[in-house]
Structure formats: C-alpha cells, structure tokens
Structure 1
Amino acid sequence: MTAVLSARGWTGSTFRSLRTRNYRLFATGQVVSNTGTWMQRIAQDWLVLSLTNSPTAVGITTALQFLPMLMFGLWGGVLADRYPKRRLLIATQSCMGLLAAALAVLTLTGTVRVGHVYLIAFLLGLATVVDNPTRQSFVTEMVGESDLRNAVSLNAAIFQAARLVGPAVAGVLINAVGAGWAFGVNALSYVGVLTGLLLMRPAELYPSPRVARARGQLREGLRYIAGRRELVWPIVLVGFVGTFGYNWPIILSAFAKDVFHHGAGTYGVFNTLMAVGSLAGALLAARRTTTRLRMLLAAAAGFGVLEVVAALTPWFWLFCPLLLVIGLLGLTFNTTANTTVQLACSPEMRGRVMGVYMLVFTGGTPIGGPLIGWVTETYGARDGLAVGGAVAALAAATVAAILAFARHDGTPVSIRSAVGTLTGRRA
C-alpha cells in the first residue's frame, strides 16, 4: 500500500503528498480505518435488510446516519475553525470506534434489533457532524496549499482502495460467521487512525488561524460563501448529485437481491467494482494540477447519464462494467468539487465552508435516501437508480446552461473565468 511507503526517492507526481511525514501517518491510519468502515457499511445494510426485508428500512438507516449532518452540519464547520483539528479528530474517531464495538456486541450476542441499528447510525451521524469538516480541512494543515489537490485525491484513492478490500472481506464474514464480526473488525480498525494522529509532529503542521469564539460566526460563513460564485456553483451541484445520485447502499443491495437474485457476495462484488472505477478516477485526479468547471460539469452529467443506462440494462454482464465507469466519473466529480471549494476559500473560513459543503453533500441523504428507497421498494430497483441518475444529469445540464448564458466571450470555462463572467469581472 502506497500510504506506508517511504517518501525518500519518490518522484511520481501522483503520490507527491506522501513526502510529508504527517500525511503518511494519516494516510496509513486511513487505509486501516476505511477498510473497517466499508466492512461495517456492507454488514449494516445487509443486517437491516435481513431483519426487515425492506429496502425502505435500509434507506431509513442511511438517512438516520446522515440526518445529524442536515440538522447540525453548519455548526460542525464552526467547531472545526474554532478548535485544534487534530484533537477534534482524536475525539470523533474514538467515539466512532466505541459505537462500532457496541454494534458488534449486540449482533454477536443475538440481541440486535433494527431499532438498535437505527440508534447507532444516528449517533455515528452526530460524530460525523464534527469529523467530516474537520478531517477535510485538516488536509491543508498536513501538506499545505501547494499539495492540497494531490492530497485530496490521494485521500479518495485510499478510501476507494479500502473499498476494494472491505466489501469483499465483509461478504466472506457475513456468509461464514455473520455480520457481527465485521462490526468488531471495524471497531479495532480505529486504533490505526488514532495511532497515526497521536504520532504526528505538531511542529510540522501548517495550522490554520484559530477563530476565537464569537457571535455570528455561522452567519459570517454563509455570507462568505454567498458572495463567491466559485463556491456557490460547485456546492449547488454537489447538493443535487449527492442527494439523489449517491444512494448506493439502497440501490446495490436491491439490485443484488431483487433484480439479479443473488446474495451478499454479489452485493460485495458490486461495491468492489465501483471501488475499482473510483480508485482509477482518484489516481487520475491526483496527477492533475488544475481544476476546471468544465470537468466538474462533464463528470456530473456523465455520472447521471450512465446511472440511467445501468438502470435500463437487463444484463448482469453489462451492469457490472457500467459500475466501473460510474465509479470513475463519480469520484472525478467528487474530488474536483472538493479541491475547487477548498482552494477558493481563505484558511480561517475553510472549516465553515467545508461544513456547508459536507452538509449539502451528505446532509441531503435524509431526503434522497428515503425517497429513492421508496421508489425502489414501490416501483423497483431500476426505477430508483434511473430517478437518481436523471436528477444528477439534469442538475449538471441546468448549471451548464446558466453558465453558458452568462458567458459573453470565448474564455475557457474554468472556475475563475466563470466567476469573472458571472460577476462582470475579468479572471
């Protein structure tokens, strides 16, 4: 795994962030922890489906996990700007590990009920409210702004590499000994990320300016975003795509069980295929040195269109490779939007900006999750996937049309030039 290799002699631009010791420690911990997280995701979805036989219940579980982000996500960004990010991450990651251990004990003792899963999903969501914006904005403190784009892409690559291993191991464990062991392994995996955080050298970080506690900081962050079109358009697009296009726990479990009539192993294979495509997309993104709005729009549109195509295909052998390309485009869209937003904001506002970003990206799941779950249960998995893809493609087309209408000359459609044309200024 590249995250644990020494950076000495490393010349490839794709992995240049690994030259930084603190980031190598962080990346190593993320490899271990994300593998466990993916195991828990697969096991949790399958456990709920086994307990209830309802795709809607899977959607409710997902919604409960992301509901706290919808309710409190903006305040998580305020805390990320106000307190030391490394200490916040140690606290949030510890809470997540304890919750995974509790779910493991309930499942292994045979006392788990769907209500327990709902409660733990909600509590995980509360920890995520602070963890997400803190972890996203902490990347800059580890590598500096010069390597931010590369580090964000490598984070995504690490996440997807873990996704290759986690679902496969989870499928084996579920079939062999049950979901409880997957939850137990995830609980232990948090030791890796906590160890990496504790071993970091604070003197080698690039700390963002701490924002003293004061009234109106949340409103200040919202005004800051509203006044910058280079932040508004990516965040708007992320909201639509994240809410309706990323409901994979609902869609893939239903496709495995109800469309192709397979078991947990196939569900794991589906997730693995998407991870392969996403990993390829992340590594390609890590090599890029610029961010263009054209790429963001194209990736969102292609992602949505291919979801519709996958929903319509009747063949298992065609559905599988489509997942590869969907994963690649989805990850390209995600990393492009993330780096665009982070590079466009000032350091002292980054926590609040990423709080809003994560709010619209994951906070919309309590809306999109139950809705797509209801469509899936009522009309079928194919319709659920088609609706999500159509919304993502329509959102991309709408934003592209707005920007095209606003542009009056032949300037390349980069983030900066789009801002200039929309505000009447030259980039």
Structure 2
Amino acid sequence: MSPRPDMLRALRNRNYRLWAGADFLSVGGTWMQVLGVNWLLLSISHSATSLGFGLFLQSAPTLLLAFVGGSLADRLPARPLLLTGQALHGLLAAALAVIAFSGAQSVWPIYAVALLGGVVSALDGPTLGRFGAEVVGPADLSNALALGSVISSAGRIVGMGLAGVLIPLTGAGTLFLINSLSFVLVMAAVLCMRSGEMHPLPRAGSDETGVAAGLRYIGRTRWLLVLLGLAFVLGALGRNYQVTMASMSEGPLAAGAAGYGILSVVFAVGAVLGGLYAASRPGLTFRILFAAALLTSVGQAVSGVVPGLLGFAVMLLPIAAGAVVLDTTVSTRAQLGTEPKMRGRVLAAQSMVGAASGAVGGPLLGMLCDTLGPREALVLAGLVTTAVTCAAAVLLARALGRRLPVAATVSATVSAFRGDRRIRRRAPLRRSPSPGTARTASPSRRGPASARGLRRRARRTRA
C-alpha cells in the first residue's frame, strides 16, 4: 500500500517556507491596499463609477502586456526580474501613501498609480509563477499551488480584516505604508533563498523568444487551448459569485448586507477547504479537474432553486471548494504539461484568460440577473457551464488520444444516439452488422471474389 501523501510536503523545502511566508504577507498587504484605494476613491468622488474605472485601469494592462511579461520571464533570469517588480510595487504603494496623507482631492493621481500598478503586475506576473515553480520543482508543484491557494485565502481574510479596523482609526494612508513594507519583506525572503536548492527551468533560446513564438506554441498545443477555453467559460459564468451573491442577497433571499457578509464568509471557508483537499492529493489529474468542473457547474444550477439563505449558503461550500480545486488543477496541468522554456508565456495566457473572463462575465451575469432574475441567471449559467464541461472533456480526450471518464460517457451517449437513428433508418433495407464484423466491409460491397474468400476463411476456421 502506498503511503498517504503529505498535505504539507512542499513546506519541507526551506526555500518554499520563505516563499509561503512572503506570499502571505504580500497577499495581506495587497488586499489592504485594494480596500484602501476603493475607500479613497469613494471618499473623494462619492461615485461608484469612479471606483469601477479604477478597477478597469488595474486589470486592462494584463490583456495587453501579459504576453510581453511572459516572454521576458522565459528569456531572463527569474530572481532579478522578480526583485525589480517587487521594488516597483513597493514604490507605487509608497506613492499612494503620499497621496493619501497629503489630502489630495483629485482622483487622477490615484488613477495614474493604478494604471502603473496594472502595468507592473502584467509584466511581472508570469515571472512570479515561473519563480514559484523553480522554488519547489515539478514533484511538489501541485502541492505548492494548492497550499498557495490556502495561504492566499488566509492572507485575504487577514488583510481585509485589518483594513476594516485601520481605516476608521488611521485612514487609508497607513494601509499603503504597510503594503509598501510587505514588498520589502518579500524581497528579503527572496534574497535569503539558497540558490543551490532551487530547481531552475531552462530558458528559451534566441529562436524561441518573443510573443509570436509563444502564440504559435499555444496555438498548436490543442489540449492547452481546450483547457484555456474551459477556464474562460467557467471563469466568466461560474466565478463571478460576487455578482450573484449580492443579487441573491438583495433579491430572492431578502438578506441584505448582513446576508451578503455571511455568504462571503461561507465562500471563503469553502475556498480554504478546497485548497486543503487539493494539497492532500499526490497529484492533480484531468479526472480531478473535470470532477471539480462538474461539481461547481451542477452546484451553481442547483443553487438557483434551493430555498432560503441557509440552503444557498450550504450550496456555496462545495462550489467554492470545487472552484479552488479546479483553478489549482488547471494551473498545475498547464505548467507541468508544457515545455519549461515556454512556462512564462503559458502563465501569461492563463492570466489573460482570467482577466478576460472577469471583464466579460461580471457585466454578463449582472445583465442576466437584472433581466431574468438572480435565480434564473444561476440556473442558466450552471447549465451552460455543465454542457461546456462535457464538451471540453470530449475535446481534451481527443487531443490527448485517450479517454477520460466524462469523455467516455458523453461519447458513448452520442454514439448510441447516432447508432440508434442509423439502425432505425436502415432497418427496412438490411440487417445491421454483428459486433464481430462491425469493422469489416460488407461482402456485397467487396464483390464476389472477396465474398468467396471470406467463406473459404470461415470454413478453415471451423475446421
């Protein structure tokens, strides 16, 4: 019997312990800054539109520059690029602190910093992912990614909680200073890592660098295209739960802001549980990926019809857990299944898909909630993502040249339906072939000589 996999096995690596601690501090500081920027924009402009524009400025550069960042990550050493990016993020956080403490009454300086921060994130995001893979190596990558999701959830909860306490006491400027300090600590942790214990990935050659080379590679890797397409659809229709939770709380559940807060906490707990499950697995396979995709899709459809706040909250637990398992598995398979010298550009494609799904899915789900109603929007989105998951399973199995359980079931159902129609259509003309001769051409089609040959072989076999 094989030993039970160690849920915390990646933490045996000293470098990863430093990386995990730095990640917790960085995520906590980042969410403190997110709430601080939102509060600062609202207090200056008193407009939700200005808040939305600030979020757009932070995410738009990812769609335009992520592949450039991926190309740099594949060509240049990861550690210097990472330290440069963290230093720039720290300086931008310090600039926000200066703006807040100076009592600025214009949103444009904040917009400028938000745009620059989006540019830096787009360029150094693939480097973060590539460096993280070099910290643990391929054997513990799936475990490290799963633990990273748990750490991120914990950092988010702590960061948002501290921000809620500090904003009334000290103002938003303190949040930006703390975030700036967190980047200094991240840089210190990276510098303390032992180079001899790293797992460096091969860098792309001169003929394999650039955006065009990365696009060609992704374009000819069919299974990766299927994976990214599935991630986009499920991200757009199944990940924007901030929209649907708010609509359900305000509408059918009549739970108000308190109910929305309860649902947010439940979702965070489910995300932690999903991360712990993913960390407990020895490997994250395509079977786990599609099981998680079906769990979240079917669960989303069911959540649209369950009555009451309690029932909806109960459905959120497996949905949130499945979403984390799905995201972690997609990232694991995309990294381990592609060429290491293309890792940065593959990660860039993932980040672009994530940004695009958020940009498309948020407004689309909001429109569906307004026109059809929150419950109907959840049911419709769940049915669509379920159908897309089944189709993706079939396409992925074909691209990989093997059968997955979901793909086999769907293919058998379709084949049986087509075969049944074919038999009914041909029944008046001739009898359908037996299973033993299903792959052999009919004697009437092969001519008299072939028919005689078949009869002679049959007599020899009987003899």
Aligned-pair identity (%): 36
Aligned equivalents of 2:234, 2:7: Cα separation in 1:
27
Task: Indicate whether 1:400 and 2:390 are aligned.
Answer: yes
Aligned equivalents of 2:295, 2:77: Cα separation in 1:
39
- Counterpart pick for 1:148 among 141, 145, 151: 141
CA-to-aligned-CA distance 1:79-125 (integer Å, 9 cap, x gap):
11011111111111121122222223323433154444433322221
Contact map agreement 2:394 2:406 (CA 8 A) in 1: no
Q: Per-residue deviation at 1:132? A: 1.7
Aligned equivalents of 1:367, 1:121: Cα separation in 2:
21
Q: Per-residue deviation at 1:299? A: 2.4
> The residue matched to 2:212 in structure 1 has which SS?
helix
Matches within 5 A, 1:103-118: 103-111=96-104, 113-118=106-111
Q: Per-residue deviation at 1:414? A: 7.1
Task: Indicate whether 1:88 and 2:81 are aligned.
Answer: yes
Query: Structure 2 vs 1, CA of residues 417 and 339 (structure 1 numbering), >3 Å: closer, same or farther?
Result: farther
- Which sections of structure 2, spanning at least 5 residues, go unmatched? 410-463
Aligned equivalents of 2:37, 2:149: Cα separation in 1:
22
Aligned equivalents of 2:168, 2:311: Cα separation in 1:
26
Aligned equivalents of 1:150, 1:388: Cα separation in 2:
32
Paired position in structure 2 for 1:361: 354
Paired position in structure 1 for 2:15: 22
235-244 vs 122-131, which moves further: 235-244
> The residue matched to 2:7 in structure 1 has which SS?
helix
Query: Structure 2 vs 1, CA of residues 45 and 296 (structure 1 numbering), >3 Å: closer, same or farther?
Result: farther
Query: Structure 2 vs 1, CA of residues 396 and 322 (structure 1 numbering), >3 Å: closer, same or farther?
Result: closer
Paired position in structure 2 for 1:73: 66
Q: Per-residue deviation at 1:318? A: 4.8
With CA pairs under 8 Å and 6+ residues apart, which has the higher RCO, 1 or 2? 1
Q: Per-residue deviation at 1:308? A: 5.7
- Counterpart pick for 2:268 among 268, 275, 281: 275
Query: Structure 2 vs 1, CA of residues 230 and 405 (structure 1 numbering), >3 Å: closer, same or farther?
Result: closer
Aligned equivalents of 1:64, 1:313: Cα separation in 2:
37
Query: Structure 2 vs 1, CA of residues 402 and 189 (structure 1 numbering), >3 Å: closer, same or farther?
Result: closer
Aligned equivalents of 1:355, 1:109: Cα separation in 2:
37
Query: Structure 2 vs 1, CA of residues 308 and 91 (structure 1 numbering), >3 Å: closer, same or farther?
Result: farther
Task: Indicate whether 1:139 and 2:129 are aligned.
Answer: no
217-226 vs 268-277, which moves further: 268-277
Matches within 5 A, 1:240-279: 240-247=233-240, 260-262=255-257, 271-279=264-272
Query: Structure 2 vs 1, CA of residues 230 and 355 (structure 1 numbering), >3 Å: closer, same or farther?
Result: same
Task: Indicate whether 1:413 and 2:404 are aligned.
Answer: yes
> The residue matched to 1:354 in structure 2 has which SS?
helix
Q: Looking at CA atoms only, which structure, 1 or 2, has the larger radius of gyration?
A: 2
Paired position in structure 1 for 2:323: 330
Paired position in structure 2 for 1:196: 189
Query: Structure 2 vs 1, CA of residues 371 and 394 (structure 1 numbering), >3 Å: closer, same or farther?
Result: closer
> The residue matched to 2:199 in structure 1 has which SS?
coil
Aligned equivalents of 1:269, 1:35: Cα separation in 2:
21
Aligned equivalents of 2:244, 2:116: Cα separation in 1:
24
> The residue matched to 1:13 in structure 2 has which SS?
coil
Aligned equivalents of 2:100, 2:361: Cα separation in 1:
28
> The residue matched to 2:8 in structure 1 has which SS?
helix
CA-to-aligned-CA distance 1:293-319 (integer Å, 9 cap, x gap):
343234234334545665677855555
CA-to-aligned-CA distance 1:197-253 (integer Å, 9 cap, x gap):
111122221111122445763222222222223312221111223344444666667
70-79 vs 90-99, which moves further: 90-99
Q: Per-residue deviation at 1:172? A: 2.1
- Counterpart pick for 1:166 among 159, 163, 174: 159
Contact map agreement 2:33 2:179 (CA 8 A) in 1: yes
Aligned equivalents of 1:58, 1:98: Cα separation in 2:
22
Aligned equivalents of 1:388, 1:57: Cα separation in 2:
28
CA-to-aligned-CA distance 1:397-424 (integer Å, 9 cap, x gap):
224135448869x965179999xxxxxx
- Counterpart pick for 1:228 among 214, 221, 228: 221
Q: Per-residue deviation at 1:140? A: 2.1
Query: Structure 2 vs 1, CA of residues 191 and 374 (structure 1 numbering), >3 Å: closer, same or farther?
Result: farther
Aligned equivalents of 1:140, 1:405: Cα separation in 2:
28
- Counterpart pick for 1:207 among 200, 204, 218: 200
RMSD: 3.7
Contact map agreement 1:27 1:158 (CA 8 A) in 2: yes
Matches within 5 A, 1:295-334: 295-307=288-300, 315-334=308-327
How many residues in Structure 1 have an aligned counterpart in Structure 2?
403
Contact map agreement 1:66 1:363 (CA 8 A) in 2: no
Aligned equivalents of 2:192, 2:407: Cα separation in 1:
39
Query: Structure 2 vs 1, CA of residues 193 and 225 (structure 1 numbering), >3 Å: closer, same or farther?
Result: same
- Which sections of structure 1, spanning at least 5 residues, go unmatched? 1-10, 419-427
Aligned equivalents of 1:313, 1:49: Cα separation in 2:
35
CA-to-aligned-CA distance 1:170-201 (integer Å, 9 cap, x gap):
22223444433333322222222111111112
Query: Structure 2 vs 1, CA of residues 411 and 352 (structure 1 numbering), >3 Å: closer, same or farther?
Result: closer
Amino acid in the other structure paired with 1:37: T
Q: Per-residue deviation at 1:169? A: 1.8
Query: Structure 2 vs 1, CA of residues 407 and 13 (structure 1 numbering), >3 Å: closer, same or farther?
Result: closer
Contact map agreement 1:97 1:188 (CA 8 A) in 2: yes
Q: Per-residue deviation at 1:47? A: 4.4
Aligned equivalents of 2:191, 2:394: Cα separation in 1:
48
TM-score norm. by structure 2 comes to 0.74
> The residue matched to 1:14 in structure 2 has which SS?
coil
Aligned equivalents of 1:27, 1:126: Cα separation in 2:
24
